[in-house]
Amino acid sequence: MMKRKILLFFFVAFLTTSSFAQLPLQQFLNTPALKHASVGVCVKDLETGKTLIEHNADKSFTPASTLKLITTATALELLGPDYRYATTLALDADNPSRILVLGSGDPTLGSDAFDENPYAFLSEWADALKTSLPKKEAWELYIVDDLFGYEGVSPQWTWEDLGNYYAAGAYGISVFDNTYRLYFDTTDRNSCPKILRTDPTIKGLSFTNYLTLNTSGKDNGYIYGAPFSFERTIRGNIPAGRVGFSIKGDIPDPGLLLGEKLAEHLQKSGVNIRTVETARNNYILRVCNPMPQSYRVGEVVYVHRSRPLSDIIREINVESNNHYAEHLIRTLGRMKNANIYSDPLKEGIDFMNTFWKSKGISTSSLFMYDGCGLAPQNAVSPVFLCDLLSYMNKKSLYSKVFFNSLPKAGEEGTLKYFMNKTKYAGKISAKSGSINGVQCYAGYLMDENKKFAFVVMANKFTGDNVQIRRAIEKFLLSL
């Protein structure tokens, strides 16, 4: 009789818990804007590993920037939090008048994320070279930027993204976040916006300007153009009545721009630079005509090291930095295959799949076409992300570093206004993902005895992202 009572107690407790969990889920799914949407949910208890709530958890959804969780977690596991990129300045052993700048794929050179003065590193390089270089009438500057090849962007990115700062290419040499600002004078309401300048100045860059003015005060201006093309088209509209309004685009040839800017600093230091060239032409020649490299590394003059990986992944997750994420996935690709003619993006994606399979996490629901989530074809299931979050919390040697890389809800980064002024503000650390028709959140809820990994993914909803965000907030508050 006692045994029956105990079994009945646990059965009733299970039903009560299950009903409690399913009610807020059903209320969330009944959100009018989600009527025609695809929705996936997974909530796991980090202590027990049990799934508390799930809905379409094994289906694949467009993740947008929540894909960055996979990129940053994998890079952290394989490279470690103390990994630093090294950009090397050396002399060419075969050409006594040539300075080499050897890129390692560092995305942080002159980056706004870390540098108040983005040109400071160039002054340091110029000082180091001036001190160490032997006396010569003139030097050649050769920028070795071919580590990742020159495709730079995912072939699955859309044309409307290419040319804009958030879709900047990733190369062996990147500089200033591979981003420039294009400034306009829009005070004349009866004419098109007048182009003033770019910052930094980029030689040969030209624009076909189709921009118009608006009175809404919103920035709807977009720059279009392919990598290594110095011809850009501007479309859309920007606010009228501004003296120095700016929009951002991607630098067409970052390696060349770095070489030109370094040459300017060297010239000011009294070091005469005769020519500036990148490795791109030689790289293209060697595709079909195998031949020795056109340089040989000799005496190392200076090594510039980046901030540690722990800082880089925090920038990626807090600010949703696409550019940094694309460098990380290609860095992993080169770790897997050092041949600069292999596709570092594909190699990185393959490496990630192999790694997570080795940890016992199925990747059958994972479809990656970049490292940042910009490609519309990206897809992943809530359960995969839940399993990854659980692994990083319970099994990773760098669990604390990963957790601290995520923004806190209601406090910082892309989550500054999410769950703001609620009981879970500061108690949720997560990554958001948002593009047209996509709103996702994935991360951790840590509140006393509640320690959950959660993933909520909504695709193809009606209404706007703000409506869906509020519905997701309401659902999370019920946990």
Q: Tell whether 241 and 298 lie within a shared domain.
A: yes
Q: Tell whether 57 and 91 lie within a shared domain.
A: no
Dihedral over alpha carbons 333, 335, 339, 342 (to 10 degrees): -10
Q: Is residue 13 part of a domain?
A: no
- Rounded Cα distance between 235 and 210, Å, is 5
Q: Is residue 11 part of a domain?
A: no
Under DSSP, the state recorded for 164 is: B
Q: Is residue 75 part of a domain?
A: yes
pLDDT in tens, 91-125: 999 999 999 999 999 999 999 999 789 999 999 99
- Of 305, 338, 363, the position where a domain reaches its end is 305
* Total number of domains in the chain: 2
449 in Cβ contact with 457 (< 8 Å): no
Q: At what angle do helices 344-358 and 322-336 cross, to 10 degrees?
A: 80
- Rounded Cα distance between 268 and 398, Å, is 45
List, in order, residues 6 or more apart from 417 with CB less than 8 Å away.
Answer: 410
Q: If we measure between CA atoms, which residue out of 324, 333, 371 comes closest to residue 174?
A: 324
Q: Is residue 451 part of a domain?
A: yes
Q: Is residue 331 part of a domain?
A: yes
pLDDT in tens, 238-252: 999 999 999 999 999
* 276, two tokens: 């500036």
Neighbours of 44 (CB within 10 A): 25
* 64, two tokens: 């947008």
Neighbours of 205 (CB within 10 A): 19
* pTM (two decimals): 0.93
Name the pairing type of β-strands 139-144 and 273-278.
parallel
pLDDT in tens, 220-270: 999 999 999 999 999 999 999 999 999 999 999 999 999 999 999 999 999
- Rounded Cα distance between 463 and 302, Å, is 54
Q: Is residue 166 part of a domain?
A: yes
Q: Is residue 18 part of a domain?
A: no
3-state secondary structure of 440: strand
pLDDT computed for residue 463 by the predictor: 85
Q: Is residue 4 part of a domain?
A: no
- Of 259, 286, 305, the position where a domain reaches its end is 305
- Of 261, 289, 305, the position where a domain reaches its end is 305
User: The domain that contains 367 carries what CATH number?
Assistant: 3.40.710.10
Q: Tell whether 77 and 91 lie within a shared domain.
A: no
Which helix H or strand E contains 140, and what residues bound it?
strand 139-144
- The C-alpha angle with vertex 141 and arms to 136 and 145, in degrees rounded to 5, equals 155
- For residue 85, pLDDT over 80 is answered with yes
The residue that leads in pLDDT, 401 or 291, is 401
Q: Tell whether 187 and 334 lie within a shared domain.
A: no
Neighbours of 388 (CB within 10 A): 24
Phi-psi region of 89 (alpha: psi -120 to 50; beta: other; left: phi over 0): beta
- Rounded Cα distance between 459 and 442, Å, is 14
pLDDT in tens, 155-187: 999 988 988 889 999 999 999 999 999 999 999
- Rounded Cα distance between 349 and 71, Å, is 9
Q: Tell whether 404 and 470 lie within a shared domain.
A: yes
Q: Tell whether 73 and 98 lie within a shared domain.
A: no
pLDDT computed for residue 290 by the predictor: 80
pLDDT computed for residue 116 by the predictor: 84
327-356 mean pLDDT: 98
Q: Tell whether 271 and 199 lie within a shared domain.
A: yes
Q: Tell whether 325 and 367 lie within a shared domain.
A: yes
Q: Sign of dihedral through CA atoms 101, 104, 107, 113?
A: negative
Q: Tell whether 67 and 97 lie within a shared domain.
A: no
- Rounded Cα distance between 278 and 297, Å, is 15
Residue 76: CA count within 13 A, CB half-sphere: 29
- Rounded Cα distance between 149 and 162, Å, is 18
Q: Tell whether 35 and 49 lie within a shared domain.
A: yes
70 in Cβ contact with 357 (< 8 Å): no
| Confidence band, pLDDT 50/70/90 cuts, at residue 21 | low
3-state secondary structure of 312: helix
* 326, two tokens: 């694309």
Q: Tell whether 293 and 346 lie within a shared domain.
A: no
Q: Tell whether 240 and 110 lie within a shared domain.
A: yes
Neighbours of 140 (CB within 10 A): 15
**Domain housing 42:** 23-81+311-477
| Confidence band, pLDDT 50/70/90 cuts, at residue 132 | very high
